[in-house]
């Protein structure tokens, strides 16, 4: 049974930074496409960043590419998301997700079959 658990969220002021972690069990991270998504109150869930089995990151847009860094540690089975220069509009619940094992396709349109419970990020101005 694949289980994902996010941590590292919190309340920060605009301009601050956070590092989110997603610890996984029941799977081998290197065999999965994994990523971060977020959902703000009253809005649809959106993709933030994903990283393929080969370690290549994909960011949802240029703003996220500038301020978000996705990385993973295959040995620790942990996914990370570093966020700098946080903005109030980054306030959301952040979820990690995994697609696999060894499924074809790793992009924001792909179906991710495992999800964590989310960690809250609140940014005040």
pLDDT tens, 62-120?
Answer: 889 999 999 999 999 999 999 999 999 999 999 999 999 999 999 999 999 999 999 99
Cβ neighbours of residue 95 closer than 8 Å, sequence gap 6 or more: 6, 36, 37, 38, 39, 45, 115, 116, 117, 118
Task: Express as a percent the part of the chain with pLDDT over 70.
Answer: 100
Residue 78: its H or E element: strand 78-83
User: Mean pLDDT across the stretch 31-60?
Assistant: 96
């Amino acid at each position: 049974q694949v289980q994902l658990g996010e941590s590292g969220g919190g309340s920060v002021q605009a301009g601050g930074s956070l590092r989110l972690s997603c610890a996984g069990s029941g799977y081998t991270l290197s065999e999965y496409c994994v990523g971060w998504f977020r959902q703000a109150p009253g809005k649809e869930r959106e993709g933030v960043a994903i990283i393929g089995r080969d370690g290549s990151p994909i960011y949802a847009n240029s703003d996220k590419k500038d301020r978000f860094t996705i990385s993973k540690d295959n040995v620790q089975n942990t996914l990370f998301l570093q966020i700098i220069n946080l903005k109030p509009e980054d306030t959301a619940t952040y979820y990690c997700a995994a697609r696999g094992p060894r499924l074809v396709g790793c992009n924001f349109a792909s179906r991710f079959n495992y999800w964590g419970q989310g960690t809250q990020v609140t940014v005040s101005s």
